[in-house]
Amino acid sequence: MSGFEFVALSLPPMVIGVLAAIACALPGNFLVLRRQALIGDAISHVVLPGIVVAFLLTGMVSTWPMMIGAGGAAIVSVLLIEAIRRLARIEAGAAMGVVFTAMFAGGVLLLEQTDTSSVHLDVEHALYGNLESLIWLDAAGWGSLVDPVALAGLPPELLRMAVVACVIVAFLLVFWRGLKISTFDEGFARSVGVPVRLIGGLLVVLSALAAVAAFDAVGSIIVIAMFICPPAAARLMTDRLEIQVAWSVGFATLSAVAGYVLAGYGPLWIGFENAVSAAGMIATVSGLVLAVAAIFGPHRKGAQLPR
């Protein structure tokens, strides 16, 4: 394949996939350690009603209203889960199950009631995303990477995903100590004056941000897979948080690149004509990585986190 084709058709989606995977995997480390892994699952389900409501209010499929709608829905769902957990006095998992199914069902119903035949808005899109379509038409070859005119034509998702990834990295750097202490020993963190609730809240908000930005580019499946699989696999590799985060970034990158390549070129190698879903393949590869870590990971044994 020529450099032109690769730079124009494969590089942007691959980079977006890697950025999305890293943006989700970074907060995912803490969600897994805090036993909140399924928050990502709940958030990615309620993205659908969020974008449908945004579409109904604005009447168009454009990025910002949809992102705001999805973000709003994510925050509403987190608050509802917390409210139901406390009012009904039930475990968090059941409260999540109640909230995200109801909100997802509401989203599907609204979608059915709305005339969306003229726009590209459906359940499948929210689930799988359309990574393959994020191509860079202005690219003429590797040289375009230093050509400002061509760079201006990059898919906007790329810049957005990069900004979100930077915000998340910045959050982790600023709050690293507090985040680390409050994740492993909340009582101790509170006693030494760490703002435990603020940090916990920010973590959920940033996870929602990562989920919302990533769903637009790559769909909800990757979001859930990347929140959980790379951090879970990394946790089986080491006992040190810093190293675990590094492993998770490596696994996320590996899954995104290998998944994209396998989806785009894998079928051609074995004689099929059409590519398969990149989002699905990235999730699959991350699962294989986790499976390998679960069988060979040096720190796979040990005590589970206490409730």
Partner 1 sequence: MLVDALFLQMGYNATLVTLGAGLLGFAAGISGTFLFLRNRALLSDAISHATLPGVALAFLLMVALGGDGRSLPGLLAGSAVSALLGLLCVNALVRHTRLNEDAAIGAVLSVFFGFGVVLLTVIQTLPQGRQAGLESFLLGSTAAMLWADALIIAGGGAAVVVLALLFRRPFLLVAFDAAYARARGLPVARLDLLMMGLVMAITVVGLKIVGLILVVALLIVPPVTARLWTDVAARVVWLSGIFGASAAYVGAAISATAPDLPTGPIIVLVSFVVFVVSLLLAPSRGVLAAWLRYRRFQKRIHIRQGLLALAQGHPIYERLTLRLLVAAGWARGDGVATDDGMGYAARALRDEARWTALRTDNRFEAAAAMYDGVRDIDTVLTSDQIAEIDRRIAETPA
Q: Which chain residues interact with partner 1 by CB under 8 A?
A: 32, 35-38, 40-41, 45, 84, 87-91, 93-98, 101-102, 104-106, 108-109, 112-113, 123-124, 127-128, 221-222, 224-225, 227-229, 231-232, 235-236, 263, 267, 272-277, 279-284, 286-287, 290, 294, 297, 299-305
What is the smallest separation between the CB atom of 198 and partner 1, expressed in angstroms?
A: 23
Instruction: Find out whether 178 and 195 touch, Cβ atoms under 8 Å.
Output: yes
What is the smallest separation between the CB atom of 186 and partner 1, expressed in angstroms?
A: 16
Compute CA distances 163 → 40, 168, 172, whole Å: 20, 9, 14
Compute CA distances 80 → 97, 135, 171, 241, whole Å: 11, 38, 25, 31
- Tokens matching residue 8: 């124009």
Nearer to partner 1, 107 or 178 (CB): 107
What is the smallest separation between the CB atom of 193 and partner 1, expressed in angstroms?
A: 28
| Alpha helices (H) along the chain | 3-5, 11-33, 38-58, 63-87, 92-113, 123-128, 148-151, 156-184, 186-191, 196-218, 220-235, 241-269, 278-296
Nearer to partner 1, 37 or 68 (CB): 37
Q: What is the largest CA-CA distance in the chain?
A: 62
- Residues 6+ positions from 146 with CB-CB distance below 8 Å: none
What is the smallest separation between the CB atom of 257 and partner 1, expressed in angstroms?
A: 16
What is the smallest separation between the CB atom of 19 and partner 1, expressed in angstroms?
A: 18
What is the smallest separation between the CB atom of 291 and partner 1, expressed in angstroms?
A: 8
Nearer to partner 1, 144 or 277 (CB): 277
Nearer to partner 1, 10 or 220 (CB): 220
Nearer to partner 1, 152 or 295 (CB): 295
Report the C-alpha dihedral over residues 217, 37, 302, 246, rounded to 10 degrees: 40
Nearer to partner 1, 93 or 143 (CB): 93
